[in-house]
Amino acid sequence: MRVGNLPGENDSCAVNTTAESTAARSFLGVLLVGIAAGVLAAVAMLVTMGILRLAFGWPTPTELIFDRLFPLLTVEFFIGSLVKAGGDLSSVNARTT
């Protein structure tokens, strides 16, 4: 059983399919497949997080992050951010100095 060709031999049966298939794809095709894969993964993640939230009450990653960050904010910064974002301050009873 021989593994390779001797010098000068031509193995016409062997086809390098990897190089041919990679060369045949256009950049736009690869880009569109990548975008489609990303959108599909995002939808799958969103559905999974929604199911876990509804079924078990587990917090989403956004809730986990902001639960740790909000205590670090000052009241003045928080209210100032609400004012900049145009939030309703009618229920807020605090002074900004």
C-alpha dist (Å) from residue 51 to 9, 18, 64, 75:
61, 40, 17, 34
Res. 17 pLDDT band, cuts 50 70 90: low
Query: How much is the pLDDT for 95?
Result: 58
Report pLDDT digits (tens) over 33-73: 999 999 999 999 999 999 999 999 999 888 899 889 888 98
Every domain of the chain and the residues it spans: 16-58, 59-97
Predicted TM-score (pTM) of the model is 0.49
